[in-house]
A = this chain, B = another copy of it.
Amino acid sequence: MNSRMNAFRSRLGGFAFGGDYNPEQWDRSVWDEDMTLMRQAGVNLVTVGVFAWASLEPAPGEFTFDWLDDVMDLLHRNDISVDLATPTMAPPAWLSQQFPDVLPVMEDGETFGFGSRLHFDPSSPAYRQAATRITTALAKRYSHHPALAMWHISNEFGPTAYNAHSSVAFRDWLRRRYGTLERLNDAWYTRFWSQVYTDWEQVNVPEVPRSWSNPARRLDFKRFVSDTLLECFIAERDIVRSYRDDIPVLTNFMRFYKNADYWRWAAEQDAAALDIYPDPGRDDSHIPAALNFDLMRSLRGEPWVLMEQAASGVSQWKVNNVKRPGRMRLGSYQAVAHGADTVMYFQWRASRGGQERFHSAMLPHSGTGARTWREVSALGNELPRIAEVAGADSTADVAVLFDWNAWWGLTETHGLPRNDFDYTQLQTDHYRPLWQAHHAVDFVSFGSDFGRYRAIVVPNAYLVDDRCARELEAFVRGGGTVICSFFSGVVDECNQVRQPAYPGAFRDLIGAYIDEYWPARDNETVNVSFADGTPAIADWWQDSIHPESATVLARYTSGPLAGRPAVIDNTLGDGRFVYIGTRLEPAALAAVLLGALADAGVRPVVPDAPAFVEATVRQTAEHRYLFLLNHSDDAPATVTTGERGVDLIGGEPVWDVVRLAPLQVAVIRVTE
């Protein structure tokens, strides 16, 4: 466990509760009311300064720290700790006025102007210098302020730029990766369409239009974008660390964010931190939320930080639904159930103006008379009841492979048998049945240690690197179970097709070769029959599988591949590789996954519960905590836990069976 985070948890005495606090938007007359209401609501941590650059440095090198001094002092006097942000995601107007090429060139070739946020090219030297200056000034001044509990480096790192500076930086990155142009040309397969580079100066960021560039170049560009943003993070992190080394430094991640390989990022920070805005307009948005929570926990194998959520609706979508009564509380506990040690919001007080004036806040426009305020303050006052859970770990016997390289390969490089793959939807399709069956789930990447698990689920890993292929083989030979879906193992890390036959890296693992990938026509379905006669429907895709050592678990009974294998099962060493060559309907996919997990000895968290109940465990050296959450709006739930304990929220003892009203939560300290 990260020692800085341990110190942070100790300081907070359990869970952190609070949100982004932007006092620079308000008259000082409001600040006192803020303090009173924060205390009423149980706030013990606020994030300050995220977009305050213009308020802190109104002219290059001229700082106006007085107001921030006062805010820090005021918060400290009110026993509220500060997560202090560097404001570098929105440079002031003077920066792009002085250096117009700080502004990023967008995908369509136009320059993104000043007037919102993210308006910089992360490779711009002028931007880097200015970010260093403000970060250094902040670190110098506040590193030892008693209110300081955490550093929040910039915010939701995200921008992709196609500027001349980006091309220079991309070239440098490529030079470091490949050394010579010859190796670059090989990796990018540039003899195709006469794309050979003979001078480094010819190499640029992908050209306009960027939709069908060389697939290896696109892939490397995604890697470069992630690495370049990470470089910005590290630069700021190292500055604040140089002034004080004992408090956590992190930045906030986003839900399913494609431009940053969070496996690499998490390793550089003291904790993973997530901003999550599930759509209240969708009935099932808590399932991809759970996936993202498990991903956050898995990134470092530790508790994580819920840095932002909405108290109710957001404002950027076409329709921004509110969180209905009880949903915000439920969603907050859900994050905790999956390892979060904080419950934080964007933002404390709703802005009167600006782009996000209707983004909900802890303290809404209509003030303390509003439902949202009542729910927020109730939660802030309830959360301390489970304070002992903060810092508790989680474990799982099954892991899902979620890797940014696989994602990029499948969705960014075009020219596939079909070009409408949705990696995060496929991930969710494989995660949902595990969630509904109450399995504890971790995520792993190409570089992870698979040995800790009994089973690995591999959703559609079109691109895998050699190491991952080797490790998967070792895992299976050592007794592990892999369940893998179609179009996996096909290309190497340069997006080049592995030869001499599909599915490339996995041919020996699946014990079969595939001669063709058959995308289905729109609305075309085929019938599948399992060995025990169970029928199922499949659609969207069919691998044309030729078993070598594999046995057949299911065959097509209609369509162009009738009689051919749909799902196969291969034994290798002491383990097993189940390969699903089509898109099975959800129930059939669930049956294959859950059957293989059961065979592998993976057990769910609770023996019996409705599918709409979520069940997770966190544990400390002393205790196991069982979280049960009823996600139904109207159905009460009965859960058989097989355990006894005490519900920390209600304070009542639990004997095996737990009854949960709709939207209710139990956090049970299990009596061993």
What residues of chain A have their CB less than 8 Å away from a CB belonging to chain B? 22, 24-25, 51-55, 58-59, 87, 90-94, 97, 106, 108-117, 119, 188-199, 201-202, 204, 206-209, 212-217, 281, 312-313, 315-322, 324-325, 350-359, 364-367, 369-372, 414-420, 494-497, 499-502, 513-522, 544, 546, 560
Contacts and interface: CB of A to CB of B under 8 A. Distances in A.
Contacts of A110: 108-109, 208-209
A312 to B, nearest CB: 7
Contacts of A372: 515-516
Contact of A109 (B111, B353, B494): B111
A193 B357 contact: no
Contacts of A113: 204, 206-208
A406 to B, nearest CB: 17
A208 B116 CA distance: 10
A218 to B, nearest CB: 10
A276 B533 CA distance: 43
A86 B597 CA distance: 58
Given A92-B196, A315-B417, A355 B515 contact: no
17 contacts: A54-B190, A87-B194, A92-B196, A112-B207, A117-B193, A189-B351, A189-B354, A215-B354, A319-B420, A321-B518, A322-B516, A350-B497, A356-B415, A358-B517, A365-B499, A372-B515, A372-B516
Contacts of A202: 93-94, 97, 114
Contacts of A119: 207
A207 B111 CA distance: 9
A206 B112 CA distance: 11
Given A357-B215, A417-B320, A192 B25 contact: yes
A191 B51 CA distance: 8
Q: Which 6 A-B pairs have the closest CB atoms?
A: A113-B207, A189-B353, A192-B354, A54-B196, A370-B515, A90-B194
Contacts of A216: 353
A521 B320 CA distance: 9
Contacts of A321: 518-521
A520 B280 CA distance: 11
Contact of A193 (B90, B190, B515): B90
Contacts of A313: 417, 519
Given A54-B198, A351-B497, 4 more contacts: A212-B355, A315-B416, A358-B517, A365-B501
Contact of A199 (B52, B94, B194, B560): B94
A618 B217 CA distance: 49
A125 to B, nearest CB: 20
Contacts of A517: 322, 358
Contacts of A51: 192-194
Contacts of A516: 312, 322, 364, 366, 370-372
B194 A322 contact: no
A114 B312 CA distance: 47
Contacts of A192: 22, 25, 51, 351, 353-356
A559 to B, nearest CB: 10
A515 B371 contact: yes
Given A52-B194, A189-B352, A115 B217 contact: yes
B197 A93 contact: yes
A499 B371 CA distance: 17
Contacts of A209: 106, 110, 112
A525 to B, nearest CB: 15
A502 B366 contact: yes
Contacts of A204: 113-115
B324 A560 contact: yes
B116 A355 contact: no
B194 A355 contact: no
Nearest to A97: B202
A345 to B, nearest CB: 16
A421 to B, nearest CB: 11
A489 to B, nearest CB: 12
A521 B523 CA distance: 27
A114 B501 contact: no
A415 B516 CA distance: 47
A318 B212 CA distance: 13
Given A25-B189, A418-B318, A513 B358 contact: no
B420 A500 contact: no
Contact of A59 (B198, B208, B514, B546): B198
